[in-house]
Structure 1
Amino acid sequence: MIPKVYGIIVFMHVLSAVLSIGPLFILMPLIKRLRSVGTNVEGAYLSIINVIIRLVMHAGHALVFTGVSLLIIGPWPWYTSWVILTVFVMGVSAFFLATGFTRVLRNFNKAGMNKNDILDRLNRTSWLYIGLMILMLWLMVEKPMFW
């Protein structure tokens, strides 16, 4: 029973990892197009970006839930170095996702804000978050023992 449940949770964990990273790559062409669209279309692009960020956020919730489940029923103890580092990077990622994207998008329609500067920051934020997620993915796949 447990091996079958463990396998299902691993599958859900991998799927949620894909959903927490993959949609971010759609942001790059959207940001590029958002630079040249008129103000009447900006709202549609910003809505798509918000949907992508919400999808990534909720996939991250599933990722955490399945990861904790795997630690509870799996062979890895909580004090393993790769688990501790993954939890640390996950905390940084969660803070970064909650503050980085939301603050940038809130400033988009404020008066006196430079649209290109905001889009540059959104692009940079996206790549930094992708980097954090890839680091976390490496820790979960490689499971390096640092101590």
Structure 2
Amino acid sequence: MLYRLLLYIHIFSVILSIGPFFVLIPLLKKLHTSESTIQQGYLDVFRFAVRLAKHAGHVLVLSGVLLVLAGSWSWKTSWIVMTILLLVSSLFFLARAFSPTIRKFSQPDQDQSILIQLLRRSIWIYIILLMVMLLFMVVKPTLW
């Protein structure tokens, strides 16, 4: 029963880590055409999504560690190793991709179209990283 609860928490934290970024995609177009006061509201949504993903990521990692410890999987299992490598990559990416770009919106000399393009690219890279991790966790491929 405890294992199933951990698995549920783990899956829910995956949803909270990935889901908000799909909401941000249509927000980019609105960000491009909005006035600066409304734009700040959209940027707040971006900040919230990134913060939510970070905190959900903490739960995701903790529940994943507990699942490996409680389950029959080894830390040397190829899909676990690959997921951990992608997780570390996504953590570095998340820390450097969104917050610095969002902060640049308040600087007057920045081209906002370029910043929006950077955010769009960052959203898709992050979604792809997380979806590949999800693929490893669901399919559990044997790579070696």
TM-score scaled by length of structure 1: 0.95
RMSD between aligned residues? 0.7
**Structure 2, gaps ≥5 residues long:** none
Residue identity over aligned pairs, in percent, reads 38
Secondary structure, aligned partner of 1:144: coil
Aligned-partner Cα distance in 2 for 1:97–1:135 = 15
Give the AA of the match of 1:74: G
Matched, 1:74 2:80: no
CA offsets per residue over residues 46-91 of structure 1, 9 Å max, x none? 1111011111111111110100000111010001111111000000
Matched, 1:125 2:122: yes
Q: Which residue of 1 aligns with 2:8?
A: 11
Q: Where in structure 1 are there 5+ consecutive unaligned residues?
A: none
Structure 1 SS opposite 2:58: helix
What is the match of residue 105 of structure 2?
108
After TM superposition, give the deviation of residue 111 of structure 1 in Å: 2.3
Q: Give the whole-Å Cα distance in 1 for the aligned partners of 2:19 and 2:42.
A: 18
Q: CA deviation at 1:104?
A: 1.1
Please list, as runs of the form range in 1=range in 2, the aligned pairs for 1:49-64 lying within 5 A after superposition: 49-64=46-61
The count of residues paired between Structure 1 and Structure 2 equals 144
1:27 is matched with 24
1:13: Cα distance to partner? 0.5
Q: Which amino acid aligns with 2:100?
A: R
CA distance in 1, matches of 2:36, 2:100: 20
The equivalent residue for 2:138 is 141
SS in 1 for 2:33: coil
